[in-house]
Amino acid sequence: MKRRDFVRTMCYGGIATFGLPVVNFAQVQQNGRFVFILLRGGFDGLAALVPYGDPDYRALRGSFAYNASDLTTLDDTFGLAPGLSPLRALWDANQLAVVHAMAIPHRTRSHFDGQAILETGLDRPAGSADGWLNRLLQVMSGTRSGIAIAAGMPLSLTGSYQVESWSPTQLGSVDDAFLERLAVLYRSDATLQNRFEAALQQQELVGEEPMARGNARRGGITPLMQAAAKILRQEHGPNIAAMEFSGWDTHANQGMAGGALDRLLGQLAEGLVAFRNDMGTAWQNTTLVIMTEFGRTARPNGTRGTDHGTAGAGFVLGPRLAKSAIVADWPGLSSNALFEGRDLKPTLDTRAVLKAAIAGAFDLTPAQLDRVFPNSATIRAVPGLMA
């Protein structure tokens, strides 16, 4: 029996009904898709969204200073790094907001603490806290489900709301006969039966060869983004996804155009464009937010890299944006303007961007937003970001 036939005959429930209440088609907004991508390691916002027009830029960045001609310029001040040039298409289509001088609400240069703040959505560390995406699932009404499309379970998605997962790792090869027998066994367990069937259907959806597990395992961003699109474009697929990519902690040999960081940015941009293409019509309801735990030092260090800093850049993508925009209360790069004399100064709270993005994606009330982000009543969603 071919896998396709097998899955068709074996699955009664599957991904569409797993863990979900009765589907309510009336709530069109709930068909929105929201993807939160965490760039772990602290990516260098000044090297990605380049403030080439800032009068202090060249002196500050020294050997890391780009010329305008190297960049995809967005206005007189900012340009996208060479690797990010594929995002030009999204910018032109009013589907890209670049956010700058943004930081988490708690000052730390520790990856661990910074990621925890970003992922719990709190304004201070609290070791027992749930992830903010999980709280979003708890707070939203109507049809909803969350999925981690990652090798691990990101903290942002952990909590009391049951979520699904799809990981690019493959731990062994299984054939249809084995899965069929296993499915027979799982039918004797009322608690696990639906989950196992959902797993089979999910696997069928993404496919094993050649794109999904194999390539994604080798670390490419694009195969993982394509797998994500296959899962998220389903009519009844999950509407909240957490993803993560690492390799951004560029202490040494960060490089310029074509260098280590720029190549990684290039992979990210390609992955995002592939995701948009593969989402098909579902792209119209999709919003992505890309953030990192902190920016990096404004000046290059002694090993041709940058060290842990404070404010950095991020991205919001998707057709639900009001328009393409640079979202920044730009603090400038003069010595006096730098935070503690060394980092880009934070002028925008990550939660202001996240609140705006999820409110636009799912039609949430301010009260709901404040439950997703406790102690954030004074942090207003960025106005005019989303349509």
Partner 1 sequence: MDATLRALNRFGLGARRGERQKIGDGRQWLRAQLDGGPPSLAPPDGVTATAIGDALRAVRMGGQGNDQERRQARRHVVEMSQAEMHAALTARITTERPFVERLVAFWSNHLCVSTGSKIIVAPLAGSYEREVIRAHVLGRFEDMVLASAKHPAMLVYLDNFQSIGPTSRGAGAGQRNNGQRRGLNENYARELLELHTLGVNGGYTQQDVQELAKILTGWTINGLNGPGARLQPANQPRRRGAPRQAARRDPDGPIEFAFIDLLHEPGTKTVLGQRYSQGGIEEGERAIRALCRHPSTAQFIATKLVTHFVSDEPPAAAVDRVARVFRSTDGDLKAVARALVDDPEAWREDARKFRTPQDWFVAVLRALGASDASPNAPVVLRQLRQPVWSPAAPKGFGDALQEWADPDSLLNRGELARTIAKQPAMRALDPQSLADVVDVPASNPLHAMLADTSIAAPERIALAVAGPAFQWR
Q: Where does this chain bind partner 1 (CB under 8 A)?
A: 15, 18, 110-113, 116, 120, 125-129, 151-155, 158, 160, 162-167, 169-174, 177-179, 181-182, 184-186, 188-189, 191-193, 195-196, 198-200, 202-203, 252-253, 302-303, 340-342
CB 295 within 8 A of CB 340: no
List the Cα angle 161/164/166 in 5-degree steps.
Answer: 150
Which is it for strands 312-317 and 286-292: parallel, antiparallel or unpaired?
antiparallel
Distance CA 311, CA 345 (A): 6
CA 209 to mean position of chain CA atoms: 25
Q: Measured from the CB atom, is 87 or 129 closer to partner 1?
A: 129
Is the Cβ–Cβ distance between 228 and 149 less than 8 Å?
A: yes
Cα(307)–Cα(271) distance, integer angstroms:
26
Smallest distance, partner 1 to C-beta of residue 225, A: 17
Alpha helix stretches (DSSP H) within 126-250: 132-139, 176-186, 193-206, 216-217, 221-232
Q: CB of residue 45 vs partner 1: minimum separation in angstroms? A: 20
- Least distance in Å: CB of 7 to partner 1? 12
Q: Which is nearer to partner 1, 88 or 195 (CB)?
A: 195
Residues forming a β-bridge with 291: 38
- Closer by beta carbon to partner 1, 134 or else 222: 134
Helix (H) or strand (E) holding 348: strand 348-349
Closer CB to partner 1, residue 162 or residue 365?
Answer: 162
Closest CA to 287 of 22, 29, 26, 8: 29
Smallest distance, Å, CB 342 to partner 1?
7
Which residue, 163 or 372, is less far from partner 1 as judged by CB? 163
By beta-carbon proximity to partner 1, the closer residue of 95 and 202 is 202
Shortest distance, position 166 Cβ to partner 1, whole Å: 5
CB of 302 vs partner 1, minimal distance in Å:
5
CB closer to partner 1 out of 165 and 254: 165
Exposure string of 340-352, with b = 16+ CB inside 10 Å and e = fewer, is eeebbbbebbbbb
| CA nearest to 81, candidates 96, 68, 94, 63 | 68
d(CA 386, CA 88): 19
**Do 4 and 217 meet the contact criterion of CB atoms below 8 Å apart?**
no
Contact predicate 312/118, CB 8 Å = no
Q: Which is closer to partner 1, CB of 198 or CB of 344?
A: 198
Q: Minimum distance from CB of 47 to partner 1 (Å)?
A: 20
Smallest distance from partner 1 to CB 43, Å: 18
